[in-house]
Amino acid sequence: MSNPETTHHVKPAGAKDAANPSQTMAFQAEVAQLLKLVTHSLYSNPEIFLRELVSNASDACDKLRFESLNNAALLESDPDLKVRISFDKDAKTLTITDNGIGLSEQEAIDNLGTIAKSGTRDFVANMSGDQKNDSQLIGQFGVGFYSGFIVADRITVESRRAGLPAAQGVRWASEGTGEFEVAQIERAERGTSITLHLKDDAQDYLNAYKLKGVINKYSDHISLPILMEKEEWKDGELISPTDPEGGRQPGGMAKTGEWETVNQAAALWTRAKKDITQEQYDEFYKQISYDQNAPLATTHNRVEGATEYTQLLFIPSKAPMDMFNRDKAAGVKLYVKRVFIMDDAQALMPVYLRFVKGVVDSADLPLNVSRELLQESRAVKAIREGCTKRVLGMIEDLAKHNALPAASTDGVTDVVSDEDKAMVGKFDTFYAEFGAVLKEGLGEDFANRDRIAKLLRFASSTTDTATVSLTDYKARMKDGQDAIYYITADTLAAAKSSPQLEIFRKKGIEVLLMADRVDEWALNYLHEFDGTPLQSVAKGAVDLGKLQDEDEKKAAELAQTEFKPTLDKLKQALKGVASDVRATSRLVDSPACLVVQDGDMSTQLARMLKQAGQAVPEVKPILEVNAEHPLVKKLVDSSNFDDLAHIIFDQALLAEGGMPADPAAYVKRVNALLV
């Protein structure tokens, strides 16, 4: 935006300052509209104003520190840079003061009179070479200043630029309605004081406890001290010293005249890793996550290159109650050049890693970055990819150290560090809490699908606990086995007792048991692992290939032929509920089971979608019957063929966790047979 078109009106000399009358200047025509946008739309959280003003004060000090490298006289007699915050309950004002570079009268007009103008941005643009690298922490003095109008109906700025005489101070004031006043004043101290005349609904900022809380939340990382005047409890005084019976005035907090630092003055993630203990990391995690437990894993890195940023990320030890609410805003905290931007920068972390907590501090993003810009920024894409890889690396490290190394065959005991011992069992904890969410990555993160697949763990027909990896399964596959077999069900018990497992159990073939609600969806995106296809035992005709001997193959073919009349009759009886009926070799003890064709939606997934209120196409399963089972043999000469056929179908449906379409009819048929 160009400089504002200003109209200088010299006001009549007033009693306050006859020698230096103020000038009233009009903002550019659209500035009033922009002010309204800034104060009502740009910031949804009112307390953000303090973050912005403290950040600006810090930037002014950074700028002075930089300029003083070539001109030490700018520090005058006050070399200790700081920010002070004070309030006056009677006057209803809040003041933020810094002893930074300050403003001249013309700089106040140019920088405070134009929303899109940033003096600091111009300052950085005029530098080159190593100076630009040295000044990368110097922020912008732009839109953020106007956030003060969120809580104030008038803002007064008094300032003097370092190096100018005291007589060349400046006062800038505005009600944010399209005009501002500028006057020259006498100001002994270098730097800037911003006084907010608070609105009636913002009086809670006239409270030290409230202000400290906001500072700790948003500005704890500011590298210079933020000072507030100390307060102490003062007992009530006698209303009348000559009348002890007259009672006492109520006591309260009273200012002591001493100043104290209320921030840490150094962001944890900006410090060297070697200077930070794990206890400090844990305490920082608890502060940002509101979790009382220490994290399972921590990573702290500074990434340099085309995109520069610092990441401090944590994996919690316990999932929150709303973990499976994908619509809930979640993400890491975003800072830009140590300035807090937002709590839940979802664009920096994929949804399937929404359990990760932490901080990302970018050196490349603009301070006024919006959620929309985050979605489109190339720098954000690079940060997202880097954070994703780093988190997956943390999880892989947990998996690698989940158990102590096995004893070597030569009797030599491996040396295990205390750090490795501390990690034993942590992956089991992680997977129990977040394994189901991690599986979502199979369908969301194609680039890292193989890494995610290696981290997945399942129960199997040989173990009830989710400890079997796909790598482990492949290592145990039988000679001649050419697929990784799995089954999905509503519960682990239902999966383990499924009739579809009978032939696999008989032959000692391991089958992975999957009972998480996400499994059915996630496995649609994982068709093979390390070159071996995954095959659901509840889809398609069972084909054990080399694991089935010739006699078994011939028996299956013979059953299909000799049992054909009964199969045809079953198809007719069940034509409304089953898409096909066929003899099977997968059953040993059960009379029948339900399967679907390869590529079709499973009956379990269809049930879940219906429960979620989604429209799904009608799924008619295939009924596979065990021709050798007594109940099936009884069908051949049964006078209640249709009833028995429906009972067999409904029992197969019940066995996989479904419900008969007409439970009352099912009960009636069973009762009739029992009688």
Alpha-carbon distance 182 to 379, whole Å?
A: 40
In whole angstroms, give the CA distance from residue 188 to residue 277.
44
Strands 226-234 and 191-198: unpaired
First to last CA, the chain: 90
Q: Are 331 and 345 in contact (CB under 8 A)?
A: yes
Task: Determine, yes or no, domain membership for 239.
Answer: no
How far CA 94 is from CA of 99, 181, 331, in Å, comes to 17, 20, 33
> What CATH number does residue 574 fall under?
1.20.120.790
Domain shared by 63 and 182, yes or no: yes
Is 317 strand, coil or helix?
A: coil
Domain end point (choices 544, 564, 595): 544
Q: For residue 278, how many other CB atoms are within 10 A of its CB?
A: 12
Residue 222 included in any domain: yes
Give me the CATH number covering residue 85. Answer: 3.30.565.10
Q: For residue 155, what pLDDT is reported?
A: 94
Give CA–CA dist 376/531, Å, rounded.
36
Query: Is residue 405 a part of any domain in this protein?
Result: no
Contacts of 152 (CB under 8 A, 6+ apart): 94, 196, 197, 198, 199, 202
563 and 486 in a common domain? no
CATH number of 531's domain: 3.40.50.11260
Mean pLDDT by groups of 10 residues along the chain of 675 residues: 35 43 68 58 71 88 85 92 95 96 90 53 43 33 69 94 96 86 95 96 93 85 87 63 53 78 84 88 82 91 90 92 72 80 82 93 79 77 93 95 67 64 88 94 94 95 89 91 89 88 88 90 91 86 65 70 85 88 85 82 72 73 87 82 90 85 88 83
Going by C-alpha positions, the residue among 290, 37, 89, 322 that lies closest to residue 205 is: 89
Say if residue 568 is in the same domain as residue 509: no
Q: Within this chain, do residues 283 and 191 fall inside the same structural domain, yes or no?
A: no
Q: Where are the alpha helices (DSSP H) in 249-301?
A: 278-289
Do 575 and 507 have their domain in common? no
448 φ, ψ (degrees, to nearest 5): -115, 20
User: Looking at the domain assignment, is residue 129 inside a domain?
Assistant: yes
The residue type found at 453 is A
Q: Is residue 521 part of a domain?
A: yes
In the block, which residue shows the tokens 């106007």? Answer: 146
Same structural domain, 85 and 44: yes
CA atoms of 561 and 426, how far apart (whole Å): 55
Is the same domain home to 28 and 156? yes
Question: Does 79 share its domain with 192?
Answer: yes
CATH of the domain at 339: 3.30.230.80
How many angstroms separate the CA atoms of 342 and 372, rounded? 13
Residues 621 and 606 in one domain: yes
Give the relative orientation of helices 378-400 and 426-438 as an angle to the nearest 10 degrees: 140
Do 20 and 138 share a structural domain?
Answer: yes
Alpha helices in 417-563 (DSSP H): 418-423, 426-438, 441-444, 449-455, 470-476, 492-496, 502-507, 519-522, 550-562
Asked if residue 408 is part of any domain, the answer here is: no
Q: Which domain holds residue 128?
A: 9-233+254-260
182 is a domain residue: yes
SS3 306: coil
Q: Which of 202, 201, 199, 153 is nearest to 176 (CA)?
A: 153
Instruction: Say if 45 falls within a structural domain.
Output: yes
Task: Quote the number of domains for the chain.
Answer: 4
Cβ contact 60:192 at 8 Å: yes
Would you list the DSSP string of 576-643?
TT-SEEEE-SS-SS-SEEEEB-TTSPPHHHHHHHHHTT-------PEEEE-TTSHHHHHHTT-TTHHH
In this structure, the number of other CB atoms found within 10 A of the CB of residue 142 comes to 21
The predicted pLDDT at position 416 comes to 67
| Overall residue count recorded for the chain in this entry | 675
Residues 645, 596 share a domain: yes
Q: What is the pLDDT of residue 141?
A: 33
User: Does 143 share its domain with 166?
Assistant: yes
Among candidate residues 492, 524, 544, the one where a domain is terminated: 544
